[in-house]
Structure 1
Amino acid sequence: MHDSHPTSAPRPSADRSTPPFSGLVVLAALVVAAAGLKTASSIVGPVFLVLTLAITVHPLRTWMRKHRVPALAATVVALLAVYVVLLVVLGSVVWCLVRLTTALLDYGPQLAQLLTAALDRAAELGLSRAMLENAVSSLQLSNFAGVAQQVLNGLTSGLSLLALMLATVAFVVVDGSGFAERLDALRGFRPRVADAFTDFASSVRRYWVVTTIFGLAVAVLDVVGLEIIGVPLAFTWGLLAFVTNYIPNVGFLLGLVPPTLIALLENGPGSAVAVLVVYIVLNVVIQGLVQPRFTGDAVGLTGTVAFLSLIVWAFLLGALGALLAVPATLFVKLLLVDHTRDGRWVGTLISSTVPHPPPGRTPVNDS
């Protein structure tokens, strides 16, 4: 006679019992949110940049208030600090594009001579000169200068957006004086959300500071190397290296191409190779080995996630998304992953250090 109560089988863990439908709902929500961000990218990107910069300079205001500086004076100093950062970054981009456009136009004859020599060499190797000339015809110098000029026009035509950013800075910095009190009130209603905002402020502040320090170091060394090699406009290319350092992974390449091209046109292949060697060595040592250790500790993201975030945010927010790739990913990670019960497992895949399971919970053996 069999027992009427069969032996109960092991129940699946809570992690396995989540219905697939909930995952589809989350995916659909992400798609809708991404579409909304892309539609409003011209507003979301600049405003988010302003918010992160205001968060970064907020300790300056706090420090001044602790030393009994009047609240109005402390607010004005913090406001001016954000304005200076914006003007330095945006002004550096405009300055580099202007100098690059002018330099490309000035080196027209040298580029034509270089292309002719390259065609002759290719013909000696048995390649069809007519085919090569047709391919090179689309690479006229005016096209390169035209691309830079279009980017420059896009920047200079955004004066209304710049005015919006400057006005947003004023409101954010002024309201930031009472943010600590609001955060304490929020912690009474949603402690996890309050903790996420606190961690984001701390992490994004460290990220901007670490990236700026290493960007300055790379820029100074680049300028020294370019001056020794004899590349024109060395300060301009150093400034470009400083700005592109904020773009993860591919920023190095963006800062490398202009000085290499100018060195090739001015002094020949030897000078261009020297620029490549200097930039690659500095990138491998500083940006490839040293900086990621400090940046990883600051933001808690793996190198792969940082690179993928560049692609995603550049697609959603445009050129500004490349600059904001790491801060934006950090915001999403802290708000939706690190401080939510159902999202913590994602942190094991994207965090620079592997997080441990919550106390009292053992890993599930999938075998």
Structure 2
Amino acid sequence: MTDEKNESNLMSARQVLFIFASIVVLLAGIKTAGSIVILILLAAFFAVILHPVAAKLQQLKVPRGIAITFIVLVIISVFMAIMTMLASSLNDFIRAYPEYAQILMSKLNQLEVQAAKFDIHFSAEEVMKIFDPSSLFTFATGLLSHLSGAMSRILLVTMLCVFMLFEVRLIPIKLKKVLTEPDVSMKHFQRAVNAVSKYLLIKTFVSMVTGIIIWIFLTYMDVRFAFLWGVLAFALNFIPNVGSILAAIFPIIQALLLGGFYDAIIIAIGYLIVNIIMGNIIDTRLMGKGLGLSTLTVFMSLIFWGWLLGPVGMFLSVPLTIIIKIMLENNHHGKKIAILMGDGKSI
């Protein structure tokens, strides 16, 4: 009896080791093929967002091929216009940086004198090395070249997205033929798709409105590069917990340098109000029952997917984690992990 129990424990240990080894190999493969995986993920999530729009146009008697073509052309046109304006704003920001550096150096010199009165000593020159123009120009040039490179990837992502939109109607039929328990599996699959689709649609809408409000607010406050900061607010709003904070840092520093402490406080309060209304009220109300993920899980997923897939992984950390949680919930061995990942409301 004891030998059978020891053998059973040994088999369980081997299974656990095999699962962990498989996960490590899988993650290593994803890390190695990250550039390809990122393109596929972007195309898939764009398809998830655009599929309801295509379905709505079909209900209006628009052929699916024409509906998909129209949607893609509109998205590309808007995206190209935004990228052109963004590149122009970045160029203006690069040209204006020497002026900002001089103002910052003057402010730091004043702060150095005042801090010395309280026996606090630091070097303004050492602090300015953090804002070294050469490193900033290198970063900005790299960003601009990255944007130019992104243009070449748009075609590939768009083609993948189009093929996925045409294929989406056939996926349920194919899965029913290959799955052992098609009814149960399709129910779980549909639940995951609905959860991700709802999250992406709501997050895109809230982020877009947030970016537009920030743009209008900063323009009204006569803040330079308001469009650039609006686009930044839109993009970083997809990053949970810390994205909205990061989006506010540069405009506040700029206001502090060019306007003074009062202007910086006004900008900070404006960002705070917008993020409270859009993030904590509108977003929460539209999400309904929420994501089913704990705050710790969301933050850890941000770190994990960011490490695995870079910035794109950070943007898609929540929907990817939702998919994994739903898969674990419907697996006998993964239910306990899914409970630990949850927000505790369903326990």
TM-score, reference length from structure 2: 0.84
Q: Residue 348 of structure 1 aligns to which amino acid in structure 2?
A: I
Q: State the shift of 1:319 in Å.
A: 1.3
Give the equivalent residue in structure 1 for 2:25.
32
Aligned-pair CA distance for 1:115 = 2.3
In the superposition, relative to structure 1, how do residues 205 and 61 fare at CA in structure 2: closer, same or farther (>3 Å)?
Answer: same
Which of 18, 23, 30 pairs up with 2:16? 23
Pairing 1:115-194 to 2, within 5 Å after superposition = 115-128=108-121, 131-186=123-178, 189-194=181-186
The CA deviation at 1:18 is 8.8
Distance in 1 (alpha carbons) for counterparts of 2:81 and 2:243: 17
1:198 equivalent among 190, 197, 206: 190
CA distance, structure 1, for counterparts of residue 210 and residue 31 of structure 2: 33
Q: What one-letter code is carried by the residue in structure 2 that aligns with 1:111?
A: L
Q: What is the rounded CA distance, in whole Å, between the counterparts of 1:254 and 1:353 in structure 2?
A: 29
**Counterpart Cα distance in 2 of 1:248 and 1:222:** 18
CA change 1:153–1:124 in 2 (3 A) is: farther
Structure-2 change in CA distance of 1:83 and 1:133 (3 Å)? closer
More helix by share: 2
CA contact (8 A) 2:326 2:338 kept: no
Match of 2:100 in 1: 107
Q: Distance in 2 between matches of 1:123 and 1:352?
A: 49
5+ long unaligned stretches in structure 2: none
In the alignment, does 2:322 pair up with 1:330?
yes
Q: Cα gap change, 1:105/1:208 in structure 2, threshold over 3 Å: closer, same or farther?
A: farther
- Please tell me whether the aligned partners of residues 263 and 271 of structure 1 are also in contact (alpha carbons under 8 angstroms): yes
Distance 1:94 1:323 in 2: 21
Quick check: which has more Rg, 1 or 2? 1
* C-alpha displacement of 1:308: 0.9
Q: Where does residue 241 of structure 2 map in the other structure?
A: 249
1:305 to 291, 297, 300: 297
Q: Does 1:42 align with 2:23?
A: no
Q: Which residue in the other structure is 2:51 paired with? A: 58
CA distance in 2, matches of 1:158, 1:341: 42
Matches of 1:320 and 1:115, distance apart in 2: 36
2 CA distance for matches of 1:81 and 1:306? 32
Offset, 1:63: 2.9
* Residue of structure 2 equivalent to 1:211: 203
TM-fit CA distance, 1:17: 11
Task: Report the counterpart of residue 342 of structure 2 in structure 1.
Answer: 351
Q: How far apart in 2 are the matches of 1:94 and 1:299?
A: 35
The CA RMSD over aligned residues, in Å, is: 3.2
- CA 1:135–1:269 in 2, change beyond 3 Å: closer, same or farther? same
In structure 2, give the amino acid aligned to 1:231: V
**What TM-score results when the alignment is normalised by the length of structure 1?**
0.80
CA contact 1:204–1:299 (8 Å) conserved in 2: no
1:309-320 aligned at under 5 Å gives the runs 309-320=301-312
Provide the secondary structure at the position in 1 that maps to 2:241. Answer: coil
SS at match of 2:289: helix
Gaps of 5+ in 1: 1-11, 357-367
The answer to whether the Cα contact below 8 Å between 2:86 and 2:228 also exists between their aligned partners in 1 is no
Q: Is the 8 A contact 1:314 1:325 kept in 2?
A: yes
Percent identical across equivalent pairs? 25
- Relative to structure 1, the CA distance from residue 196 to residue 40 in structure 2 (aligned partners, 3 Å threshold; closer, same or farther) is farther
Of residues 269-278 and 154-163 in structure 1, the stretch that sits farther from structure 2 once superposed is 154-163
SS state at 2:170 partner: helix
1:92–1:240: 8 Å Cα contact kept in structure 2?
no
